[in-house]
A and B are shown apart, each in its own frame.
Chain A
């Protein structure tokens, strides 16, 4: 028997690590991966709670998260490619022309 609360705790930690990734890394791909990790953490929490409540709608939600993530990754990677395919470095800080 897996302690559901602990699983959610794990999800929270993964979520935090993902957040750090987004804020700290400068490589857009890694940032994007970190964001995906946050989504994954949320999916994990949903599944854990679904188990806790004996309610499958949480799992449906998790499934939808996975599906959406797929679509989002498709678009995201396309954007990253268009932005970076001519650039020297994968550095998100270089993309800061608009400010103030």
Chain B
């Protein structure tokens, strides 16, 4: 319980940091903190594999990508955000999100649940267990993820191609 509280505070602080930080780099770093604390929480929740995956994929790959882009886009540019201009945006968003969050949290905490008496199954959440699933019955899902990553690759390719504005329509006879 203590561990949970500490991790929770860490995660929340990280999350708040992301939202509050003035500079994107700081936000990214706060997000790393958040992700790491969550990873530890995963461990506590008997999800060893995911904890590892979280660290490697999120903290390792995704956040690095973020940091890279942040530096790419903010280098040599003015930093910081101008003042809020949309009327009531912060206020309404805050109230709504806090309301929704509190409502959900309360619901979740009060959810009775049906305690399962027996202990965890064998290999629950470790590499072995996940492997059996992901390379077994759920392999198709992994295939889908693979296709998505391919999509991402294509996307980067397409989006960063040199711009050809107003490319002329191909003339049919030229092709022939």
Contact = CB atoms under 8 A, between A and B. Distances in A.
A71 B57 contact: no
A32 to B, nearest CB: 8
A63 B130 contact: yes
Given A66-B50, A90-B73, 8 more contacts: A3-B1, A4-B45, A14-B34, A25-B19, A33-B18, A66-B54, A81-B73, A89-B82
A9 B111 CA distance: 10
B32 to A, nearest CB: 10
Q: DSSP majority for the A interface?
A: helix
A98 interface: no
Return the 7 tightest CB-CB contacts between A and B, nearest first. A16-B101, A74-B152, A23-B93, A8-B108, A12-B104, A67-B145, A71-B148
Nearest to A15: B101
Nearest to B158: A78
Contact of A80 (B21, B41, B69, B100): B69
Contacts of A24: 19, 84, 89-90, 93-94
B109 A6 contact: yes
A100 interface: no
Interface in B43-73: 44-47, 49-50, 53-54, 57-58, 61-62, 65-66, 69-70, 72-73
Interface of B: 1, 3-4, 8, 11-12, 15-16, 18-19, 21, 24, 27-28, 31, 34-35, 38, 41-42, 44-47, 49-50, 53-54, 57-58, 61-62, 65-66, 69-70, 72-74, 77-78, 81-82, 84-86, 89-90, 93-94, 96-98, 100-102, 104-111, 113, 116, 118, 120-121, 124-125, 129-130, 133-134, 138, 141-142, 144-145, 148-149, 151-153, 155-156, 159-160
B19 to A, nearest CB: 4
Interface in A48-100: 48, 50-54, 56-57, 59-60, 62-64, 66-75, 77-82, 84-85, 88-91, 93
